Amino acid sequence: MSRYFTQDHEWVDVDGDVGTVGISEYAQSQLGDVVFVEVPEAGKQLTKGADAAVVESVKAASDVYSPVSGTVIEGNAALADDSSLVNSDAEAAGWFFKLTLSDPSELDSLMDEAAYAAFVEGL
């Protein structure tokens, strides 16, 4: 499995043609306590860079953008009951949605973990 990051602090884990998407540890630390998450429904078509989900914290509401294009196959239902999973485990149990990638070449424009770490250090 390979993990990629965007400059907007989303990550995508790719396993075959399925991507699991969430926000980075850095993003959740900037948001503060997450109080609500809205994830896309299965079947929704997403394009790279388009609004895909919403995360609300005590500080602000923020859009989450899809790092790649594809069709949503599952939203993380656990977040409806416990949005704090985004704070406690942003890069694992706090994932937002899974999608089938429609254009795997879009991954070429994303950062790997080392490049993302350097990007965050520069902020």
DSSP 71-107: EEEEE-THHHH-TTHHHH-TTTTT--EEEEES-GGGG
**Residue 99: per-residue pLDDT:** 98
Q: Is 114 a domain residue?
A: no
Q: Is 72 a domain residue?
A: yes
Q: Which domain holds residue 20?
A: 2-104
Residue corresponding to tokens 């990629």: 4
**Residue 2: per-residue pLDDT:** 95
Q: Is 121 a domain residue?
A: no
Q: Is 122 a domain residue?
A: no
Q: Is 23 a domain residue?
A: yes
The structural domain count of the chain equals 1
**Residue 33: per-residue pLDDT:** 97
The segments of the chain whose pLDDT lies below 50 read none
Q: Is 117 a domain residue?
A: no
In this structure, what are the phi and psi dihedrals at residue 95, rounded to the nearest 5 degrees?
-60, 155
Q: Is 119 a domain residue?
A: no
Q: Is 99 a domain residue?
A: yes
Residue 70: which CATH number? 2.40.50.100
**Residue 1: per-residue pLDDT:** 80
- Angular region, 9: left φ>0, alpha ψ -120 to 50, beta rest: left
